[in-house]
Amino acid sequence: MKIAVLPGDGIGTEIVAEAVKVLNVLGLPMEMETALVGGAAYEAHGHPLPESTLKLAKEADAVLFGAVGDWKYDTLDRPLRPEQAILGLRKNLGLFANFRPAICYDQLVGASSLKPELISGLDILIIRELTGDIYFGQPRGRRIATDGHFPGAEEAFDTMRYSRPEIERIAHVAFQAARKRSKRLTSVDKANVLETFQFWKDVVSEVGLQYPDVELDHMYVDNAAMQLVKAPKRFDVVVTGNMFGDILSDEASMLTGSIGMLPSASLNSKNQGLYEPSHGSAPDIAGKGIANPLATILSAAMMLRFSLNQEASALRIEAAVQKVLAQGLRTADIYSEGTTRVSTREMGDAVVKAL
């Protein structure tokens, strides 16, 4: 099993190191090769996604990704910014389906900003379409300068678009995921204002006719954002577009206590996937040893499940994470009185010991 390991920037190197440590003790036949991506790649090669890194990712069965970005790159021309690496990987690998589970572990109920009765037992799966929408629309606005900013410009624009095949394929993924859970699917749109999302709603409804056993409902994105904090357990599987999914999945992450707990998987039609924590590179805490590696470790478990067909090992990792939380070990983001605060490395060591 060939895995491309792309730590990236900021805390990416720290959290990926812990996930690799966990994978190494499983005793599975895995080949892991590391490459530069994001700001680190720009410094070394002048581009956030060098050809050598892209080649490695394409040839791998799965990609384990950390995070990219740093404020010092904000003045670069947009195509050279670290964040373009992740967009480039999604496009070149055809990664169209992003799975973002939001699970509130019993041990972390008190870490959520919501009342325990609202989030106890929470288990939501947000499925975000990754290769269409406004992020991949027409060129962004009228650029006066070449540094990614618009001094003196009078307007800027982004084009939101979706094609029927793009909506159909993500809808099928979502309905099939709902079938394996509680057979309930919520499609989130803004059909009352945007033609793009009236089209989305129509196509999802058409696909839904092929899944009569799955209950489908539609919800406007503003209402969905409100319901996530009002009654989050009303949701089970949620499917939505690229931008709405980006926002709602981050909102859902805070229901669980910390975005440092949320893994994600981005898959193509062959189940080749890129696995990364839902959070960013957090350059303000990089190198301090306080980042939470659990989202990355849980992303590695998703990698074993979806791309490498190693369900038993995925379950072992998830059980080990729960055991560590039950022992009261916490990184800074989920620490509370009465628990034991540990470093990034100590949390990884604890998961290894639990395994």
Would you tell me which CATH number, out of the four given (3.30.930.10, 3.30.70.100, 3.40.50.920, 3.40.718.10), belongs to the domain 1-96+268-355? Answer: 3.40.718.10
Query: What does the pLDDT look like over 263-283, one tens digit per residue?
Result: 999 999 999 999 999 889 999
What is the phi/psi pair of residue 317, to 5°?
A: -65, -45
* Predicted TM-score (pTM) above 0.75: yes
Say if 1-96+268-355 and 98-258 have the same CATH topology: yes
With vertex at residue 102, the alpha carbon angle to CA 83 and CA 126, rounded to the nearest 5 degrees, is 70
Q: Does 211 participate in catalysis according to the annotation? A: no
Query: What does the pLDDT look like over 74-128, one tens digit per residue?
Result: 889 888 999 999 989 998 999 999 999 999 888 888 878 888 899 898 999 999 9
Distance from C-alpha of 352 to C-alpha of 344, rounded to nearest angstrom: 13
Among the options 123, 236, 250, 349, which is catalytic?
Answer: 250
Among the options 9, 61, 190, 201, which is catalytic?
Answer: 190
Q: Name the residue ranges covered by the structural domains of the chain.
A: 1-96+268-355, 98-258
Q: Does 77 participate in catalysis according to the annotation? A: no
Q: Does 246 participate in catalysis according to the annotation? A: yes
What lies within 8 Å, CB to CB, of 317 at 6+ separation is 22, 26, 297, 298, 300, 301, 304, 351, 355
Taking alpha carbons only, the member of 337, 249, 343 closest to residue 293 is 343
Confidence band, pLDDT 50/70/90 cuts, at residue 141 = low
Among the options 135, 202, 220, 233, which is catalytic?
Answer: 135
CA neighbours closer than 13 Å in the CB half-sphere of residue 152: 4
Q: Does 190 participate in catalysis according to the annotation? A: yes
Distance from C-alpha of 333 to C-alpha of 343, rounded to nearest angstrom: 11
Query: What does the pLDDT look like over 156-201, one tens digit per residue?
Result: 788 899 999 999 999 999 999 999 999 999 999 999 999 999 999 9
Among the options 123, 147, 158, 246, which is catalytic?
Answer: 246
CA neighbours closer than 13 Å in the CB half-sphere of residue 22: 36
- CATH class of the structural domain 98-258: alpha beta
